[in-house]
Structure 1
Amino acid sequence: MQKIWATLLLLAAVVAGVLVYRQLQQPAEFANVLVYPAPRELKSFSLTSHTGQPAGREQLNGHWTLAFVGYTFCPDICPMTMAMLSGSYAELAKVLPQGQSLQLWFVSVDPKRDTVAQLNNYVGYFEQPAIIGLTANHDQLFPFVRELGLMYAISTTTDEDYRVDHSASVVLINPKGQLVAMFKPELSADQNSVPVVTKAQLLRDFPEVVQQVTP
């Protein structure tokens, strides 16, 4: 009888070990992060940086990039998200594989008001050299933003103080210029809260996401 119990316990231990192994082999699941099953190639695009320099796919190569779309006249989501990214930068950069760097892209989808000079002033406000402000005409912006899995919509009002609807998510692009993940705002029971990706959320999930999508 003792031999039977010993055998059963051994089998249970083996089964438990197999289950643990399988769990470790499965990709981590995140409540507010979309990790793409395979990296998504981005088509060619042509933007202009806040320093007036052209920017395309080649500016993504060799860097991890966290990208966010918005506009400088945004009253809440944009300044809150950019301040969060700027304040989180040092901690985020530390978790990257050795020798790899991180850049932060702020893609303005309001080219009418966000001139190069306006973008330059806005980027300078956050005092983070890793931030690159970018914009273009809508014929370049719309397909690029759509490829990132994000969106924006310009109001048709003639009011000069118009609002721009846009995504609040932050996307992650790998050093090959491929889209690999999207960090989404956490849902809140407070209907008055602004839906943004928080620092706590990003610092919690970013290291595991990078580990998961790094070959």
Structure 2
Amino acid sequence: MKYKLIAAVAVVTALAAGIFSFQYVQQVQLPEHALVYPKARDLTEFTLTSHKGQPATRQQLQGQWTLAFVGYTFCPDICPMTMATLTGAYSELQAMLPEGQKLGIWFISADPERDTVSALANYVGYFEQPAITGLTAGHDKLFPFVRDLGLMYAISSTTAPDYLVDHSASIVLINPQGQLAAVFKPELKVGEVPLVTKAILLADFPKVLAQLQ
């Protein structure tokens, strides 16, 4: 009789645990196009220059959430489309954060030869979003920083003035402690430009935040 009681209790406990796990999974939905790091990663110290000509370091990442993207102003497709997406989704993304927390956007140029401070200022100004900061640096500082973000870029060896720059289409999320917390991956469709769309951002951003809390 004693063993039957123990077995019955075990079954009830297992069922309760199963129900709880199911409810938890239902409540905390995983993002479809974003990867949340199991442990936020500290970024190595860096020094870039903003589109206002001011130095930008890890200190500027403290106290706010930051969506960072690597591109260049001469980019024909991914960059202007991604920047337009970030601008268009900004107010809705900001509203998803807890009260009092702010969201910044970093556009990191992978083309310092053409993307001077003034060129970046003109480019950033086009989107009319005060939360955007354009950033540049020499390749000796830029490449290690971009790699530290888990992103990449590569410049063609051609001497043509209209050269293209290969770069990641992903957007990374940096937490208010200045740590790399998540990355939003672009939607890949045959024959189309790889993009993190507004629909992806709005659907996955709250799910990412839920995982980070």
Q: Report the TM-score when normalising by structure 2.
A: 0.91
Secondary structure, counterpart of 1:182 in structure 2: strand
Distance 2:174 2:83 in 1: 17
Alignment-derived partner of residue 107 in structure 1: 108
* Deviations, residues 109-164 of structure 1 (Å, cap 9, x unaligned): 10000000000000000010000000100011100000100000011000000000
Secondary structure, counterpart of 2:99 in structure 1: coil
Alignment-derived partner of residue 205 in structure 2: 206
> Residues 1-215 of structure 1: matches in 2 within 5 Å?
15-23=14-22, 24=24, 28-188=29-189, 191-214=190-213
Distance 2:148 2:104 in 1: 19
Q: Which runs of 5+ in 1 are unaligned?
A: 1-6
- Report the residue type matching 2:74 in the other structure: F
Secondary structure, counterpart of 1:89 in structure 2: helix
Distance 2:40 2:194 in 1: 26
- Report the residue type matching 1:87 in the other structure: G
Identity of aligned residues (%): 62
Distance 1:156 1:16 in 2: 62
Distance 1:17 1:56 in 2: 49
Secondary structure, counterpart of 2:206 in structure 1: helix
* Deviations, residues 163-200 of structure 1 (Å, cap 9, x unaligned): 00000000000000000000001222xx2210000000
**Which is worse superposed, 35-44 or 14-23?**
14-23
- Report the residue type matching 2:129 in the other structure: Q
Structural RMSD (CA): 2.1
Alignment-derived partner of residue 3 in structure 1: none
Residue 33 of structure 1 deviates from its aligned partner by 1.0
Distance 1:61 1:81 in 2: 24
Contact 2:34-2:185 at 8 Å conserved across structures: yes
Secondary structure, counterpart of 1:206 in structure 2: helix
Secondary structure, counterpart of 2:81 in structure 1: helix
Residue 34 of structure 1 deviates from its aligned partner by 1.1
Alignment-derived partner of residue 4 in structure 2: none
Distance 1:20 1:178 in 2: 35
- Report the residue type matching 1:179 in the other structure: L
Residue 11 of structure 1 deviates from its aligned partner by 8.0
Residue 47 of structure 1 deviates from its aligned partner by 0.3
* Deviations, residues 70-114 of structure 1 (Å, cap 9, x unaligned): 000000000000000000000000111111000000000100000
